Structure 1
Amino acid sequence: MVLRSTRLRLHVGVSRVHRWLALIIGVQLLLWFASGLIMSVLPIDRVRGERLVERVSPATLDQARPRAPLDLVLREANKPAREVRYRLLLGREVAEVELADGAVVLQDAETGKRIPPLNAAMARAVAVQAYRGVAPTPSIRAILTASTEYRAILPAWRVDFPDRDATRIYVAQNSGRIVAVRNGTWRLYDFFWGLHIMDWKNHEDFNTPWLIGFAAGGLALAIAGSALLYFRWPRKRRRNK
């Protein structure tokens, strides 16, 4: 009889814990399931903008073209360098020098002379060259501070294409490389990503106290539900003879 009474009190206690946990974190559980479903349904190539933007140029370097000696390129850089990469930028062969401090400078591959950071016209040309869609002439603006949509290299140029996806191509001023592509699908994905990780402001912190607390609450809810299932599982009772 005592055992049965203890079991009943434990059952009631677990039931109350389960009910209150469900009330407190139930909405967030729905958001987790809904956001996870939507993010898994959205095609990742549309999210990344690969359908409308060709980030890597198919052009190749001319082997017969004269180039400045490497020591001249390094001397013009005027700082310790970590890596030198040769590539084409709007039909012009350049040496992309990555310095020891992480900064990137461009130099003319033939003369070794420093190339100034990209201006607005050059950045627009880079974006238009990479854009696969059909849209009127894009607008352009300088990006000097990070935002929820863009947190990469600064300063950069943002080229806005007035297409149905509201495509935005970000071009780094120091290297002329496309460093980010944003569109309507990406913004939808990013919105639900912020809900999923419970970082409603920056959409990037996966270790917020809210997420940790609600995840622990979800685990406790699952444990309480399993305990209730155990208490309420039908058992065979022997008849007293």
Structure 2
Amino acid sequence: MKRNTNYYIRKAHRYLGLFLGIQFLFWTLGGLYFSWSDIDKIHGEHLVMEKKDFSTTSGLIAPDSILIKINSRQPLTPIAKIELVETLGEPYYQLQLMTGEYRLFSAKTGHLKPQFTKDEVIEIARTYITFEAEVKETELLTIVSNHHEYRERHLPVWAIAFDYEGDPVVYVDAVTGQFERIRHNSWRVFDWLWMMHTMDYETRDNFGNWLLKAFSILGLITVLSGFLLFGVSYNKREFKFLKIKKS
């Protein structure tokens, strides 16, 4: 009876280990990459210049005047936030609407700024990066999937890919002209390993998904079965060792 128990425990431990081994490998590789990586470099901060102060704040129209002027033409959705920003050396009032949309108005003339063109966003991107490189490709993104490296961010956005080490891509908001993100190969590896680590293959950040819970429970069972297997077979091994030693 004892022999049969050992057999089934050993067999269960073996197949559980084989089934979970690949995921354990990804967890280990991800943990090593996360712990040995500089998170600032993963975010690309070494590729981005620090934000500069405003070059000038004189001669600006008061934001109240612009709001009055806007509402007299076409009332806007209630405004959640007004912020003074500078893009390509020009001051603008950036309006965030309650709907989550943005509008950009010149702080000098009060005119609505149309969406930024490809040439403008390339120039904006160059003012933020710390390296010099040729532009490989530009693309205006109006929709992205859950697996895109610029997911869960404001759209539309321009993606400017540079011919540089790590294949960096700079994302500039098409409406506000603001630098949003920079992505490069180290971040992409991090993101992929993070997805494998959380086992959330849709959004990557859901730690409560059923697949992760199931593998965590099976992993615990595998470890416990290993301890149990050692416990039920320890005395037998010890007896053989003592017998050999006496002879």
Flag whether TM exceeds 0.5 (same fold): yes
Aligned residue among 106, 113, 119 for 2:104 = 106
**TM-score normalized by structure 1?**
0.83
**TM-score normalized by structure 2?**
0.82
Q: Which moved more, 1:26-35 or 1:190-199?
A: 190-199
Aligned residue among 51, 55, 62 for 1:57 = 51
The question of whether the paired residues in 2 share the 8 Å contact of 1:42 and 1:189 is answered with no
> 1:197: how far off?
2.4
Q: Which moved more, 1:218-227 or 1:13-22?
A: 13-22
Higher helix share: 2
The question of whether the paired residues in 1 share the 8 Å contact of 2:79 and 2:98 is answered with yes
SS at match of 2:60: coil
The question of whether the paired residues in 2 share the 8 Å contact of 1:96 and 1:107 is answered with yes
The question of whether the paired residues in 1 share the 8 Å contact of 2:55 and 2:89 is answered with no
The question of whether the paired residues in 2 share the 8 Å contact of 1:160 and 1:166 is answered with yes
Offset from partner CA, 1:75-109 (integer Å, 9 cap, x none): 32623111111121110011111111111111111
> 1:186: how far off?
1.2
In structure 2, how many angstroms separate the alpha carbons of the residues matched to 1:88 and 1:48?
23
Offset from partner CA, 1:205-240 (integer Å, 9 cap, x none): 444433222122111112222333443455999xxx
RMSD value over aligned CA atoms?
2.5
Q: Which moved more, 1:86-95 or 1:142-151?
A: 142-151
In structure 1, how many angstroms separate the alpha carbons of the residues matched to 2:47 and 2:78?
38
> 1:20: how far off?
2.2
In structure 1, how many angstroms separate the alpha carbons of the residues matched to 2:20 and 2:137?
44
Identity of aligned residues (%): 25
Offset from partner CA, 1:43-80 (integer Å, 9 cap, x none): 222211111122x52122634x1322232233326231
In structure 2, how many angstroms separate the alpha carbons of the residues matched to 1:90 and 1:79?
28
1:190 corresponds to: 191
Structure 2 unpaired stretches of 5+: 240-247
The question of whether the paired residues in 2 share the 8 Å contact of 1:74 and 1:81 is answered with no
1:5-154 map, 5 Å: 10-54=5-49, 56-60=50-54, 62-63=56-57, 65-75=58-68, 76=70, 78-137=76-135, 139-147=137-145, 148-151=148-151, 152-154=153-155
> 1:8: how far off?
5.9
Q: Which moved more, 1:160-169 or 1:209-218?
A: 209-218
In structure 2, how many angstroms separate the alpha carbons of the residues matched to 1:102 and 1:34?
38
1:181 corresponds to: 182
Aligned residues: 230
SS at match of 1:51: helix
In structure 2, how many angstroms separate the alpha carbons of the residues matched to 1:125 and 1:227?
65
Offset from partner CA, 1:8-27 (integer Å, 9 cap, x none): 66554433332221121112
**One-letter code of the match for 2:42?**
V
Are residues 202 and 99 of structure 1, via their aligned partners in 2, closer, same or farther at CA, if it must alter by over 3 Å?
closer
